[in-house]
A and B are shown apart, each in its own frame.
Chain A
Amino acid sequence: MPPVNRTYWRSPAQIEGTPESRDFLEREFPEGASELAEGITRRDMMMLVGASLSLAGLAGCRRPVEEIVPYVTAPEDIVPGIPRYYATTMPFGRSAYGLIVESHEGRPTKIEGNPSHPSTLGGSSARVQASVLGLYDPDRSQSVTLRGTRKSWNDFVTAWGQMTQVHAAGGGAGLAIISESFCSPTMARLISELRVSYPRVQWATYDAVSDENRLAGLRQATGRDVDLMLRFDRASVILTLDADPLLSDPEMMRHARGFADGRRAGASGGAPSTSSGQGMNRLYAVEGVYSLTGAMADHRLRLASRQIAPFLAALAARVAPGGAGTGSGAKAGIPGVDPRWIDALAKDLQANRGKSLIVAGERQPAAVHAAVCALNTHLGNTGKTVSYYETKDAALPSMSSLASVVSAMKAGTVQTLVVLGGNPVFDAPADLDFASAMAKVPHSIALGHAVDETSSATEWHIPRAHYLESWGDARAVGGTLSIVQPLILPLFGGRTPVEVMGVMVSGQDRPGYEIVRETWKPILGEADFEKKWNRVLHDGLLAGSEVPEVVPDLKGEAVAELGRLGAAIQAASGSGGDLEIVFLPSPSLHDGRFANDGWLQELPDPVTKLTWDNPALVSPKTADTLGLANEDLIRLDYAGRSLELPVWIVPGMADQVVALTLGYGRVRAGRVGSGVGFDTFAVRSSRSPGFDSGVKVTRLGRKYPLSATQHHGSMEGRPIVRESTLTELRSSVTAQPARVDSAHAADSPQPPKKAGVPGALGVFEEDPHHFSLWKEHTYDKGPQWGMTIDLNACIGCNACMVACQSENNVPVVGKIQVAKGREMHWLRVDRYFSGEPSGSPEMVFQPVPCMHCEDAPCEQVCPVAATVHDAQGLNVMVYNRCIGTRYCSNNCPYKVRRFNFFNFTKDTPDILRLAMNPDVTVRSRGVMEKCTYCTQRINRGKIDAKLAGRELRDGDVKTACQQACPASAIEFGDLRDQSSRVVKAKADLRNYALLEELNTKPRTTYLAKVRNPNPDLEGVRT
């Protein structure tokens, strides 16, 4: 590994050395962090504590009476203390995530991906991990209501019967249904039945964050309703256009795995190692807003969303010359883009026919998607890196269907409106003015998890069952049939869309279980139905139920069409002076549906590292032009509407772009999400929900404080992240022996491990530069745990952070506490930039859990031995010994220890406690805590192996972060076992320890990132 030859920084403020960034550098917890928030000084608090202690002292001696409440009739298959695992599916729009859910005595607590499901492949995402909290959301609605008064479900069924008498006569005229998009055989069957009884029903499918443009583009190109399935693992050269397949795409888990697999290929400097025999993939990203995909890119071009069409037209003219796209000006330059960049890209794509892949983002117009489809076909990628299949059992999103229902509502022709999930009052485009249209509808019914913006405005509200309480089904990517199986009865009597549709179709109340089974009888066949059904429930999916791939015949001249569009756009934006507005789905809250989930609210945005807010994002240069600094409030005028919100500067964004994140600013989300952030739907129009020109920004001269974690846990300019290029790596493989001799401690990662080196397992070779003043542990007993994190595979998606939070009962602290550096995440994902802030800096992610140093600095300063080492190499934290000096945190070079400044779980509502892992202690105030390598999972693995009378095997123990990682970037295991995956990873040339020169001998090590730049692009600036 070559020495670090570039400077990494976390924000422009750090480069300038502003006081705010120094604060977190010099003190882990900045000035004032030790004081209470509410005007009570620490001294007063000590007095109060002392007084109450002396009073409580005697009462504390008495033993509290604790009850044991056993079952009355024990369920046959539940053994108290042994968790059970069930397969189920989380429907998410037209996607379906196959999951394995852990249940403790009937209480779902932890979610993992189902390894045999095509959508998750065993991984998960931050949202999937956090969805368990949604089940126990204390603000979920608890009963059916009629204009706010409690009613029963039967009342609704009766009322529905009366309401529909009118419609039955008119064949459904006056009945309108608004739904989110879905892909479910049962729902599709119910809809077709509904259309039989009510042929004139008006149906609208609306997603605030939708892929309508892509579907329309594919329809335009192929003449059929097809959807696509991307196979990143087979692609050598990938081009993304304003797309974020690695985070905001619903299929991000599948994409992440495929991309990481292609990334790992040959990353160790050796021969290509994927099954297809190709080397490391190369990713080009062209985008305006910095996305995770852009961060992973080998070459990233900053380009506003409106410039994507001309860019693609120019590319098409080079890739498919003559055939199409030679429209006027296609070959002409794009402002700010070096033509050599496009030339090199076109050459690379052509050199990798059948192994390349072009992906366009959902924001882009249909013409771009159609052209991308045509280009992929031209490059021979169809059926290889991208495959198409007919959409089946799906409700496809359509903005125009919503618009026509809304205009019918306004015209007064809608008598009954059913909102079958979704929250259109909040997230429908502002120009439709959905709320006032709904006020004109005599009867309205909303199915919702909470009494949200929509449900509080409708006549009837029906509580919606969480997916962990529901029977249902779905088709996953590629069409695989998946089953939604409940793990618990509805906590608040919620109903599923299937059950509500059941009532609408037949007028009778039927359990979802029956309705779903009725759909599956013809699918599975009557013969042996129960047996096959049980197999499906066990697996969570029906194997072999994919929809066959189609090879579409291209209709028309999609590329030529694009050429015209590109030319038009270029002509329109000829002046290029005005600002562009872009709407982004929130990586955490999506369209706002997860707003009441504390884990997601507090999860730092992967790129901005902001929590609890959604400022407008601008590039440093644009901020300069507009005279804006971080946290400045602005007024944004666009299409006749305006919005006030703060600004955050993101290096690497395209200039002249203002990006707004959707999903915040909910009014009736609940105690967590209401009033958090700014409602950007207020300025979104149905005409251009993705991006548009013509926005005006005015500085208001006021500030609005934001809580970003980007400076927290800073390690001052030391070589922390390392990266290299594939070429450098290959040359260092050959030059290695010489390199090791001349290695300087700070610059060289540890040399590759040699077998049989004495000392601590040979993981850390005795180095003449290093000797320890401390008595070293021997580590000769029991398994020796270690971890590697592959920075080359890590996409920075934060799934590990939420998985850790869910597994280890990590509390949520709130925006004000985050600003003081008190967030409790045991695992954080650091984000570094390198390069010119106002130019196109590169981004690197680094997850940082506890390093479990063999010579841990924290242990040496604890006055009460509350943090000590165990024989397996774990640095353990003993909560009941800890007196809260925080010396350990002060002495930790990695800043991974988190302190409970308050009893953060004290006010947790009872119902939320059901989400807690019973195998992990809930910490109280004044106690330090940190990553334990999931010691509860280690113990379970060891005891299970013991009971089975065998040794622990590699893979018996998986940490929560490792299991959740969609990119498989984390390996964990026994360092004694030479065949274990973690030992193999540590033998990699790229393996290095964080701050190795401190001689802390961390058990967690990193594999350096490798980029694979195109040699033709050397010296071409973007």
Chain B
Amino acid sequence: MAVIEVDGLRKVFHVHRKAPGFWNSVRALVKRQTVEKVAVKDVSFAVEEGEIVGLLGANGAGKTTVVKMLAGIVHPTRGDARVLGMRPSTRDDRLRRQMALIMGQKAQLWWDLPAADSFLLLKEIYQIPEARYREQLDQLAAMLQVEDELYVQLRRLSLGERMKMELIAALLHTPRVVYLDEPTIGLDLTAQRAVREFVLRYRREHAPAMLVTSHYMEDIERLCPRILILRQGELVYDGSLREVIARYARTKVVIAHLAPQETPVVPHASLAALGTVTLDDDGATLKLEVPRDAVTTAAARLLEHHPVLDLAIEDEPVGAVIERIQQAQGDEHAEDAVVADAIGARARVEEGRA
């Protein structure tokens, strides 16, 4: 059964615009120009229990607005959203007790207090029984290895430690629906990995429905088997991450590790006709990015013209593929493919519902 159901969700914001300069500022005191900005355009999708879904899109694509509508922070202009069968915009306490939102860019905890004090307050807010609170806090703090930092004023913690505290705060009441809005933003690689592993472990143990937005492809690759791609407020892809590569990756990269040679390596002229050739600084690795149907020819030519020790064939990086889908506007071919896929995605969602 779907935990999150979104049907034709739309959000229009009214924003003020002001031309730059002194006189325009004076003019704006009397008359202001207001424009409509459609942040989310009739988006439909569903998320099942225990599923982690990645919500991707460039800045301003509408990801955070979707999350805010599903968390009941922003009211939709049109359409319907149901989380655990309830409308988030009604802010029913029964729903709010089972929901959490973690925003990487915005601290939810009290800045001037140790996290332990904030957690006590959250215990009261969510009415968590003492024994369960103690058990949950101990478990989460141990998983994230922050037991010693619980009693330090939040503002004195590092960014990574603060994010770990935010995660604990959001999950103390064991929510069934979790929204993670850029949970690893600004964190170093170790902290990013710790957060990702924690999210996966939490999902294994509690099976909540999770919606994750992130600009870091590693977050998406590690956490989300299924992704939704938003472009200028429209849902242009809803499907598996693996399928994105199969469908939209145009190239593959053939990597040849070469045997040491006395003379400097010069890539054979016939390779350039197939695709983009790059040679690393020490002349030991030759990379050839070619259309997918030219992979065997490229591999054969590399083996024929160069002393290859080892050969590897890799897919185009998933980030590059998604970036292309996000920026497909203006590219007629890609646009058609993306729009067709969006229609297919919607049809799949509707089929699923039916």
| Chain B binds chain A | no
Give residues in B with beta carbon < 8 Å to A: none
Give residues in A with beta carbon < 8 Å to B: none
